[in-house]
């Protein structure tokens, strides 16, 4: 208590200057999930960077996590690429969700070529976002994707199994999605990862 009184005295005497809290800048790339945006240092996806999305099984909501972003980008006539998605893309479903299909492109590639294709697309500066599903990606491969996203000023998203959460990663942002649609921020560039998981709204 004495320390608080002494500090207040210094402030009143203008011996110590009290700085104003600086609000987080509005992100150029909001996630579309207000609860998640509020907990990320940049108020959204890290721009020109790789985001790693870890999930326990396919279909727990990992794509709906990106849906607001994909809708926003494609409706703004910006190109989004899907590199070797693990399942066929159901175009009517994506269109019903609001995605402008002319701006959504699927790149077919064998697994051994998918990482190379993702890196080239990220680096090209020809698209706004690249989504990939690497099954075998070590630290070096992920670092190449991170550098490529920075070079091409592109949003990169890598969907991976939750078992990789224990391994370090050069991705600027690492999110782990659980079966109950809670997002755990494992790592975020520019700030400390919040300890409390973030609940997402129900998917459409």
CA distance 19 to 101: 48
pLDDT of residue 3: 38
CATH topology of domain 27-199: Rossmann fold (3.40.50)
Q: What is the pLDDT of residue 112?
A: 83
Helices (H), 124-179: 139-152
Residue 68 has pLDDT above 70, yes or no: yes
The pLDDT of residue 77 is above 60? yes
Instruction: Find the DSSP H helices in the chain.
Output: 2-12, 34-37, 67-75, 91-96, 111-123, 139-152
Which residues lie closer than 8 Å to 141 by C-beta, 6 or more apart? 115, 134
Entry pTM: 0.83
pLDDT in tens, 94-136: 999 999 999 999 999 998 899 999 999 999 999 999 999 998 8
pLDDT for position 1: 40
The residue written with tokens 């208590």 in the block is: 1
């Amino acid at each position: 208590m004495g320390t608080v009184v002494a500090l207040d005295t210094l402030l009143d005497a203008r011996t110590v200057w009290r700085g104003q809290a600086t609000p987080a800048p509005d992100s150029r790339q909001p996630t579309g999930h207000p609860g998640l945006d509020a907990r990320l240092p940049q108020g959204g996806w890290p721009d020109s960077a790789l985001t790693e999305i870890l999930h326990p099984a396919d279909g727990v909501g990992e794509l709906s996590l990106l849906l607001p972003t994909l809708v926003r980008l494609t409706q703004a006539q910006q190109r989004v690429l899907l590199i070797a998605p693990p399942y066929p893309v159901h175009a009517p479903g994506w269109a019903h969700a609001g995605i402008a299909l002319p701006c959504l492109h699927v790149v077919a590639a064998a697994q051994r070529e998918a990482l190379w294709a993702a890196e080239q697309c990220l680096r090209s500066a020809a698209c706004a976002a690249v989504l990939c599903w690497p099954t075998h990606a070590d630290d070096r491969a992920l670092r190449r994707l991170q550098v490529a996203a920075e070079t091409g000023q592109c949003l990169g998203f890598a969907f991976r199994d939750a078992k990789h959460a224990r391994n370090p990663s050069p991705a600027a942002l690492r999110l782990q999605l659980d079966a109950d649609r809670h997002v755990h921020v494992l790592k975020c560039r520019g700030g400390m990862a919040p300890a409390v998981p973030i609940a997402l709204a129900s998917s459409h």
